[in-house]
Structure 1
Amino acid sequence: MAAVGRFKHAIAKQLSLITTCCEPQILQAIRTPPKKTNAQFAVSLAKLAATLRQDPNVNLPNNPSIWCKATANKIQANDLIATATADGSNLNFGVQQTEFTKQVLQEVYHEKTTYGWAHIPKPREKPTVVIDYSSPNIAKPFHAGHLRSTIMGNFAKRIHQAMNYKVVGINYLGDWGKQYGLLAVGFERYGDEDELKKNPIHHLYDVYVKINVDAREDPEIDRLANAYFKRMEEGDEKALLQWRRFRNLSIESYTGIYDRLDIQFDMYSGESQIHDYIPHVYQHLQRQNLLTKTDDGAYAVDLEKYNLGKAMIQRADGTSLYLTRDLASLLMRRDKFKFSKALYAVGVEQEGYFKQLFKVAELMFPEDAWAKQLQHVGFGRINGMSTRKGTAVFLQDILDAAQDKIMDYMRNDTAKYELIGEDGAKMIADQLGVSAILIQDMKSKRNKNYTFSWDRMTDARGDTGVFLQYAHARACGIERKAEIDIRPNCDFDLLKEDEAFELVQMISQFPEQVEMSFTTLEPCTLVNYLFKLSHATSLASHSLRVKGSEPSVAEARMLLFWAARTTLHNGLSLLGIRPLEQM
């Protein structure tokens, strides 16, 4: 149990004896007060009253504030709880500060890089979750939607791992369909082997753009593209050999770029790999009597009674569609990974499509629990993303532009730049650029659109990724300069200043923030918490000197700042950011 949990249970135990509410109900009602008070926890007795009124044996006064005062007078102080005061219909609790400080800081010390989630019960066998994210299309730009998918999917992966899931991260490439037939036709006209080996993603994109221009003027190109794709679906080895080469070269290029983001996938999959499962999709649909034939000879699943229209399954010429292939991928993943839930990090504009996909899967497998645990992790659009050199259509362009922007700032500090050196500066600038991109993306609720701003996101003074990295590096600097061992058994009575206790309270909230972020899959919950933690750490460090203080005072303060830095490190790591120790 987290340290905060022990204090909450102490409150719930007393209240359960006074109010006849059970402890789980009270625990659900305990909150951190929204404004600064002398209380660390609060309970709305009005909310508890709503539960109690369902019990005919309980008589409550009409005025909740009277009941609140009477309840406060019955609370007994103990080794954890110091005070209980009435505030309208709210009951505020103050903790024994030294004991609270001791339990929180010792918890961080013992759990270290797992603080925030070490208290989560570990199941005997980890459940498996598959997460589908990033998913660029071969020969098409890695656009802003793919960037957001990469960021949100990586966060979902990391926080599921923290919550004791076995996670399979899948990059489901768009490597199949008529678009690939079009690329193959284009490569016959415009392909260059040297350019392909030098930069496969950019070259295939250039080819794709050129053949699309030709296709607008020559209908024969569309016919050739369809014919080529049909050869692929029929297993033509010559067509598939070229496809494999393009696919493998593209994956190799993507891997190097993902490494800059500290992202690794457990599996590179794609529509091409589920070909053998498509007949099984049709079989399951027929077994459940779900297929209906349309007037033009195509097949669909009628979802009208669910207000989801008709889900098209097969074209009239017998070829598959996106939905068919996504159903086939579910069958493949079910067989391969035996997953208990599956997530798809895709833009909110695809919400209708995923509702259709999930409903068809549920109808195909009405008895299977996994079919009811499919979740669309949606996100809004990025507006205004461009570099100073033009539109940033590839992930590498975006990362390079962020790095260049940070390098411009770093070169202005000549002394520090010369001390770090060119290579060191590039490494730091790259990590700061990545941090800036990730935090700008995750600081608002994921369903919201946001406007991309190079200047705002790289500002070290605002609430940005650069600021969070600076806060972590500065905390590391305090440890280096103080040269004091971190010990868990210091004199906690010496951390009596308001700034110290406020920082302890902020540190204590981290496990709850992690659980909230997991429940909602909203990284902004963690991001905004880390901003508050960083500001509280900065405020405390200005008034609580470590170096030069009395040894016992310095030791206690060092543990406090180390715990704050460790919490910041853990939060950044959950968000997919490598914390910097020096800047």
Structure 2
Amino acid sequence: MNPSVYSRYRTAFVEALAQALGVPASEIDSQVKPADPAHGDLSFPTFPLAKAQKKAPPAIAASLAQSVKVPGLEVVAAGPYVNAKFAQLPFTAEVIDTARSQGVRYGGGDQGAGKTVVIDYSSPNIAKPIAFHHIRSTMIGHSVANLHRALGYKVEGINYLGDWGKQFGLVAVGFQEYGVPERRKDMAHLVEVYVKANKRAEAEPAFDERARDFFRRMEAGESEALALWKEFRETSVRDFERIYARLGIQFEHMEGESFYQGKMEPVIDEIARKPGVKESQGATIVDLPYAENEPPVLLKKNDGSTLYATRDLAAAIDRHERFQFEKSLYVVATDQALHFRQLFRVLEAMGREWSKRMVHVNFGRVHGMSTRKGNVVLLNDVLDEAKTRALEKVQENIQAGKIQTNNAEELAEQIGLGAIVFGDLKNRRTTDYTFDWEDVLAFEGHSGPYLQYAHARTCNILRRGGGAPASYDASLLTLPEEQAVLRVIARLPVVVQEAADQAEPSFIARWLLDLAAEFSRYYTLGNQDRTKRVILEGNEPLKAARLALTDATRVALAAGLALLGIATPENM
């Protein structure tokens, strides 16, 4: 895939500046930034040159602007800055044609071709339902995976299930006490059992010890214990897969901590050689320098059972051997920051150089969640309620003549899911946010339904205008508002790269809001001045050009929403 229109012009501007100054392009690349829209598209400050050239920055800028010539760019000085503006042609045609020809792949590239990225995300615990807070890891991870796929990486998405440990012992002994045998394949019943068992274990040490003993039997490979574990695990996975299918998510691998059972001793032996291990109160810990009050990295408890740090070390080594990854990302809450710092430190101390390519993609918490059923925060309940609330709005809008659809239920599901997903992904992932039903389901403002409506509106305009034109005259798109829409569309490939580099889906969310707002501003011009209408009857060439711009906007909105995992209804 060719470099994006924006990147191509930016590179040409950087290289022309470098040539004029007699320096390598790498020296000034980071200094070329987006300009204030009133002054152009790209800007280069001359302040750093003043001392060496012994001239005032405005004089340097004026001289540079005269000597820098780039086809397709208008280069001018504005005080101490050298600004470049995309010339209307060929920029207008290049942006529209690139978007329309690439379709939903628009914004992508081939920077990751031949490279693999491993992404560990979602990762619920078996025998527990997927709670609403799992939306963060699940959807951030899904979007980060989409961003890397768009850039040509081979993505190995891993749903690393919490399917090993004492909590399973609680489910097992809880089932012996509270379970109904004929409901052993019922996920809801397993949850009831787990809640009762957990409460009892907290109050009754002997019951807690029974759970620990069951887990020890699992680790020892006892067939009866493993058979029960396998059955309950399959019940959980079936329930999880139903929710993932609803969200449109597929993992390349669904493997849990149990995958590494029996594979940890070689890892512990290797750590014993380098950097070393030592005993502490009967437990085996990694011999590292620890900060004051920093808990040590435990490899084995005093009863000989392993911990998830041990399994994570085995998993990291295994993933590098299997995939030879360029990057390995862990989409896990900020609460686990110490765990990942220590995990990476241990691997580095073992001499595993590739540990530097491992990244903890951390995220904040969601506050304020409740549903009409009360303070139930199961993800599926939230998705159901989102659909119910969306359906109410859809039916209101159908009755008011604002929405036309043949399937209100399907549209409500798309809007409800889009609302929940966008309500999460529009936030910077490291920040906490407060969930608000009115905010996420609003048809106006910074919401998923607003963006889905923006996409549906472009589809509707194209239908009313007779479809997207095969040919058009780009020179006719001279309105400032038309050029503003084009500049946002042109930015998507750059935003995709930045979002992937920083594992930050909110960059795409913010770009989508910018595009929807600019197109809305442009489209509503026709309310005051009929000559500015998109569907301008009586002037077919101008109508065709504006419909081509509308089509490019539709494509770009669809591409951005797809990166976030949000459906794009064509009627709303």
Q: TM-score, normalised by structure 1?
A: 0.92
Aligned mates of 1:410, 1:485 — CA distance in 2: 27
What residue number does 2:282 align with?
A: 297
Is the CA contact 2:403–2:571 (under 8 Å) kept in the aligned structure 1? Answer: no
Is the CA contact 1:10–1:80 (under 8 Å) kept in the aligned structure 2? Answer: no
Note the 1:26-175 alignment, pairs <5 A: 26-33=28-35, 35-47=36-48, 49=49, 59-76=52-69, 79-87=71-79, 89-118=80-109, 120-121=110-111, 123=113, 126-175=114-163
Note the 1:7-406 alignment, pairs <5 A: 7-33=9-35, 35-47=36-48, 49=49, 59-76=52-69, 79-87=71-79, 89-118=80-109, 120-121=110-111, 123=113, 126-197=114-185, 199-200=186-187, 202-294=188-280, 296-304=281-289, 309-364=295-350, 366=351, 368-406=352-390
Q: What's the CA shift for 1:150?
A: 0.4
The percentage of aligned residue pairs carrying the same residue is 34
Give secondary structure in 2 for the equivalent of 1:335. Answer: helix
Matched residue type, 1:84: V
Give secondary structure in 1 for the equivalent of 2:469. Answer: coil
Give secondary structure in 1 for the equivalent of 2:262. Answer: helix
Match 2:431 to one of 424, 448, 462: 448
Aligned mates of 1:555, 1:521 — CA distance in 2: 38
Is the CA contact 1:143–1:393 (under 8 Å) kept in the aligned structure 2? Answer: yes
Q: 1:486 to 1:417 in 2, by over 3 A?
A: closer
Give secondary structure in 2 for the equivalent of 1:130. Answer: strand
Matched residue type, 2:289: E
Q: 1:79 to 1:418 in 2, by over 3 A?
A: closer
Is the CA contact 1:133–1:171 (under 8 Å) kept in the aligned structure 2? Answer: yes
Is the CA contact 2:158–2:255 (under 8 Å) kept in the aligned structure 1? Answer: yes
Is the CA contact 2:127–2:171 (under 8 Å) kept in the aligned structure 1? Answer: yes
Matched residue type, 2:396: N
Matched residue type, 2:152: N
Q: What's the CA shift for 1:573?
A: 0.7
What residue number does 2:529 align with?
A: none
State yes or no: 1:506 paired with 2:488.
yes
Give secondary structure in 1 for the equivalent of 2:305. Answer: coil
Q: What's the CA shift for 1:357?
A: 0.8
Q: What's the CA shift for 1:223?
A: 1.6
Note the 1:418-429 alignment, pairs <5 A: 420=405, 424-429=407-412
Deviations along 1:94-126, whole A, 9 cap, x unmatched? 2321221122112222322222123x3463xx2
Is the CA contact 1:277–1:332 (under 8 Å) kept in the aligned structure 2? Answer: no
Consecutive unaligned residues of structure 2, counting only runs of 5 or more, are 526-532
Consecutive unaligned residues of structure 1, counting only runs of 5 or more, are 54-58
Aligned mates of 2:180, 2:56 — CA distance in 1: 82
Give secondary structure in 1 for the equivalent of 2:261. Answer: helix
Q: What's the CA shift for 1:306?
A: 6.9
Aligned mates of 2:424, 2:112 — CA distance in 1: 31
What residue number does 1:56 align with?
A: none
Aligned residues: 561
What residue number does 1:494 align with?
A: 476
Is the CA contact 2:122–2:159 (under 8 Å) kept in the aligned structure 1? Answer: yes
Match 2:456 to one of 473, 477, 483: 473
Aligned mates of 2:493, 2:296 — CA distance in 1: 44
Deviations along 1:288-324, whole A, 9 cap, x unmatched? 1421111x12111133257765211111111101101
Aligned mates of 1:388, 1:527 — CA distance in 2: 28
Is the CA contact 2:7–2:494 (under 8 Å) kept in the aligned structure 1? Answer: no
Q: 1:555 to 1:74 in 2, by over 3 A?
A: same
Q: What's the CA shift for 1:418?
A: 10
Q: What's the CA shift for 1:218?
A: 2.8
Give secondary structure in 1 for the equivalent of 2:214. Answer: helix
Structure 1 vs Structure 2 CA RMSD: 2.0
Q: 1:486 to 1:16 in 2, by over 3 A?
A: same
Matched residue type, 2:57: P
Aligned mates of 1:304, 1:288 — CA distance in 2: 13
Q: 1:12 to 1:340 in 2, by over 3 A?
A: closer
Aligned mates of 1:81, 1:567 — CA distance in 2: 24
Is the CA contact 1:181–1:225 (under 8 Å) kept in the aligned structure 2? Answer: yes
Deviations along 1:320-367, whole A, 9 cap, x unmatched? 011011112223323333333211111111101110111112222x1x
Q: What's the CA shift for 1:227?
A: 1.1
Aligned mates of 1:494, 1:557 — CA distance in 2: 9
Give secondary structure in 1 for the equivalent of 2:53. Answer: coil
Q: What's the CA shift for 1:419?
A: 6.2
Give secondary structure in 2 for the equivalent of 1:299. Answer: strand
Aligned mates of 1:158, 1:484 — CA distance in 2: 29
What residue number does 1:568 align with?
A: 557
Give secondary structure in 1 for the equivalent of 2:263. Answer: helix
Is the CA contact 1:481–1:547 (under 8 Å) kept in the aligned structure 2? Answer: no
Deviations along 1:440-486, whole A, 9 cap, x unmatched? 11112111000010111101111101101000111111111212343
Aligned mates of 2:326, 2:42 — CA distance in 1: 36
Matched residue type, 2:544: E
Mean Cα deviation higher: 334-343 or 513-522: 334-343
Aligned mates of 2:469, 2:423 — CA distance in 1: 34
Give secondary structure in 2 for the equivalent of 1:313. Answer: strand
Q: What's the CA shift for 1:195?
A: 3.6
Q: What's the CA shift for 1:145?
A: 3.3
Is the CA contact 2:112–2:148 (under 8 Å) kept in the aligned structure 1? Answer: no
Aligned mates of 2:388, 2:432 — CA distance in 1: 25
Matched residue type, 2:513: F
What residue number does 1:457 align with?
A: 440
Is the CA contact 1:108–1:115 (under 8 Å) kept in the aligned structure 2? Answer: yes
Q: 1:319 to 1:504 in 2, by over 3 A?
A: same
Aligned mates of 2:536, 2:264 — CA distance in 1: 67
Is the CA contact 1:302–1:309 (under 8 Å) kept in the aligned structure 2? Answer: no
What residue number does 2:530 align with?
A: none
Q: 1:12 to 1:212 in 2, by over 3 A?
A: closer
